[in-house]
Amino acid sequence: MTLGVGLVGYAFMGAAHSQAWRTAGRFFDLPVEPELAVLCGRDADALAAAAARLGWRATETDWKRLVTRDDVQLVDVCTPGDTHVEIAIAALDAGKHVLCEKPLANTLDEARAMVAAAERARERGVRSMVGFNYRRVPAVALARRLVEQGRIGEVRHVRAAYLQDWIVDPEFPLVWRLQRDRAGSGALGDIGAHIVDMAQFVIGDRLTGVSAITETFVRERPLPSASHGLGATGTAARGAVTVDDAALFLGRFGGGGLATFEATRFATGRKNAIRLEVNGSRGSLAFDFESMNELSFYDGTGDAETAGFRRILVTEPDHPYAGAWWPPGHLLGYEHSFTHEVVDLVRDIAAGTDPTPSFADGLQVQLVLDAVERSAADDSRWCAIETED
């Protein structure tokens, strides 16, 4: 039995998802075989080249045709955030399972509409999931397991950071990720969403309030079309950056734990640095994505004479996901997190169980981001995070 996949978008994230769909059934025992049925994009020539390179059987230049095709049972949405709501809802209403990249949507109203569509579809056996791939890094999944087992006790502190530097240059062009109408927000939604979800996932608790500050360091940038031409005044045409470049905030979890979060695309020298540390009453955990196969664990109940952080190389057969790949000590990479994501999704679809993170989980993360923006706009006042009934 096969599961026909239709993927909308073939750039960076589309390529990562394509790799996942190609690989999942070759290393994991799946109840159905994913089939790369249809790739969708607007530029026919570029689309054809991408489909040949990435291994897709057919192409469509209109996603509305994609979601009605009989050979597509699942729609994978890898487009900018402003298109998520329309594509995902149409696919769900057409009876297609949906995997949608994060953040779920650009606004709370859009996200709520997507959750409602997912709930309607669920009653008909149609499943949906939002793509927070870092949950599926084996070391992060192991961290969650250790917290669930009580190995660090009561959570007291969480420190999370996601640091990049790809727009430090003020002459970097005004791409869609820097435009609020396309992206919804800047560093906050693009990378801050990941560390919010990761922190909540690892400790099994949700944030209840935040105090935040955001900043846009470069407020105008060259238009992409201006790189080879001049505006009417003889200077390169520029446009306004309408999203944040950096977001920092304090938070409190429902269980009482305190948290700090930092998401920035202006950490010069940092390319994709994700760090999470959790301090508990009995021990601590620390994860650094630049050493993504490792988890640091401190057992506060041990002998003080030999106490210290223990380096766990998360490649053993009984570690999450690792046993399907290589012998112990043979390392995994970024792309494997997407493979693990689709493996879990395929298994849930076949079993008729609800995948996680759900669209409702994606909405909850956006409620946190919304509280961050509200706090930053009001002199960092403490903002409670809304809850959905």
User: What whole-number percentage of the chain has pLDDT above 70?
Assistant: 97
Q: What is the pLDDT of residues 38-47, one digit of tens each?
A: 999 999 999 9
pLDDT for residue 235? 63
Which residues, 6 or more positions from 14, have their beta carbon under 8 angstroms from its beta carbon? Answer: 7, 8, 39, 50, 54, 78
Q: How far apart are CA 68 and CA 91, in angstroms?
A: 8
Q: What is the pLDDT of residues 80-113, one digit of tens each?
A: 999 999 999 999 999 999 999 999 999 999 999 9
Say if residue 228's pLDDT is above 60.
Answer: no
**Largest separation between any pair of C-alpha atoms in the chain:** 73
pLDDT for residue 389? 63
CATH code for the part of the protein at 2-134: 3.40.50.720
Q: Are 301 and 282 in contact (CB under 8 A)?
A: yes
Q: Is the peptide bond before 357 cis (omega within 30 degrees of 0)?
A: yes
**Which fold is adopted by the domain 137-328+365-376?**
Dihydrodipicolinate Reductase; domain 2 (3.30.360)
User: What are the Cα distances from residue 135, in Å, to 191, 236, 302?
Assistant: 14, 42, 29
Q: Where does the pLDDT of residue 388 fall: very low under 50, low under 70, confident under 90, or very high at 90 and above?
A: confident
The domain locations on the chain are: 2-134, 137-328+365-376
Q: What is the pLDDT of residues 341-369, one digit of tens each?
A: 999 999 999 999 999 999 999 999 999 99
Q: How far apart are CA 242 and CA 347, in angstroms?
A: 40
Which residues, 6 or more positions from 109, have their beta carbon under 8 angstroms from its beta carbon? Answer: none
Q: What is the pLDDT of residues 269-290, one digit of tens each?
A: 999 999 999 999 999 999 999 9
Say if residue 77's pLDDT is above 70.
Answer: yes
Q: What is the pLDDT of residues 113-157, one digit of tens each?
A: 999 999 999 999 999 999 999 999 999 999 999 999 999 999 999
Q: What is the reported pTM?
A: 0.95
233 vs 55, higher pLDDT: 55
